[in-house]
Amino acid sequence: MTFAFVQTNKAFLPALQGYPSFFSRFNIRCEVVDKDQLGLVHRQVEWFFMGTDLSKPREGICKIHEYISPSMPPLASWKNLYKSIFNSQPDCRVFKNQYVRSAFTFSDKIPFFYQDIGIDPEWLSPIVTAPEKKYDFIYIGDLSERRNTEPMLKCFTQPGFKDRTLLLLSKNYTELQERYRQYPNIIFRGPVEKSEVRTYILQSRFGLNFIPDIPPFNALTSTKFLEYAACMLPIVTTDYAWVRQFHQQYGGQYFFLRPDLSNFNWEQISNASYKSPDLQSWTWEHQIRSSGILEFLQTKFPELSFS
């Protein structure tokens, strides 16, 4: 049996590693393909990360639509409405959380599941020998304008931080890199292989979880936050809804930045107390099994066994 996971190349998608790692253990072949390559794959399940999908259902193929996030500004509400009306009807939908589902106006009775992102189990294994710390801070992820990371970057051009290094693991940052080329302490790198990310995190002293406190960003799970936490890295974070909810539910101690970044200074950050959260329920294994998607797949393909 073959599952085809259809990527859009527009976002960082941890699921493109997490799902194949899980499903391949059960005699399922997993192919990660672009939309225009899908027809070349003989598949029983096609799993779209939405986006849009206007393709017609094909007999004998189970179509899954997974919504990682609502549409991004500008015209986010219009885009969500368009997708709700014109996207083809799948066999089921998967939403990251209730907030993502509420952004769309699906009125059909197609089954749906909530499935958040997970952490690779090896990331939770004990760190035997910690590598040398090469960077003071690390930031992983999107550096586009809509993320409003400029206030964070400008801090590293000021006297208090000009001698502190910031490693930025991202992609599509050429213009931003040119703007900060006179500051050798701001280091742009990437994109890098997923297998390399953990090494860079362990080479850093603090993880920066810089999320704007505006929808939809402040209601979505932060992949970088979970990856820092899995590596037991002290986390410096902006203060917003999702991280406060996570803190309340899973514990840990973090350094919360004020909106004006007035407390973003080396002395306060290095003297603060930090504690890692409980991440046992954030493995891909737990997230997938608790979502209900496996039971749905077994109704479509009774020969499947996930025990």
Kindly report, residue by residue over 181-233, the tens digit of the pLDDT: 999 999 999 888 888 999 999 999 999 999 999 999 999 999 999 999 999 99
Task: Region of 136 please: left (phi>0), alpha (psi -120 to 50) or beta.
Answer: alpha
- Rounded to the nearest integer, the mean pLDDT of the chain is 94
Q: How far apart are CA 41 and CA 23, in angstroms?
A: 17
CA neighbours within 13 Å on the CB side: how many for 273? Answer: 3
Q: What is the pLDDT of residue 9?
A: 60
CA distance 103 to 11: 19
Q: Output the CA torsion sign for 176, 239, 140, 20.
A: negative
Of residues 149 and 130, more confidently modeled = 149
Query: Is 293:262 a contact under the CB 8 Å cutoff?
Result: no
Q: How far is CA 24 from CA 79, 285, 306, in A?
A: 34, 12, 11
Give 246's Cβ-side CA count (13 Å radius): 25
Q: In the predicted model, what is the mean pLDDT of residues 151-167?
A: 94
pLDDT of residue 284: 95
250-304 pLDDT tens trace: 999 999 999 999 999 999 999 999 999 999 999 999 999 999 999 999 999 999 9
- The answer to whether the peptide bond before residue 39 is cis (omega within 30 degrees of 0) is no
Residue 11 one-letter amino acid: A
140, 146, 151, 154: CA torsion to nearest 10: 70
Tell me how far apart the alpha carbons of residues 264 and 276 are, in angstroms, rounded to a whole number.
20
Count of residues making up the chain: 307
The verdict on pTM exceeding 0.85 is yes
The reported pLDDT for the residue numbered 11 is 63
| Band of pLDDT at residue 130, cut at 50, 70 and 90 | confident
Range name among 85-94, 111-120, 124-133, 168-177 with the lowest pLDDT average: 124-133
Of the listed ranges 112-116, 128-132, 266-270, the least confidently predicted one is 128-132
Question: What six digits make up the tokens of 266?
Answer: 């080396």
The pLDDT > 90 percentage for the chain reads 84
State both tokens at 163: 């001698």
The secondary structure of 96-127 as a DSSP string is SSHHHHHTS---S---EEE----B-GGGGS--
Encoded tokens for 54? 């206007």
Instruction: Please give the distance of CA 269 from its chain centroid, rounded to a whole number.
Output: 25
Using one digit for the tens of pLDDT, what is the confidence trace for 58-68? 999 999 999 99
Could you identify the residue written with the tokens 């203060």? 239
Does the pLDDT value for residue 245 go beyond 80? Answer: yes
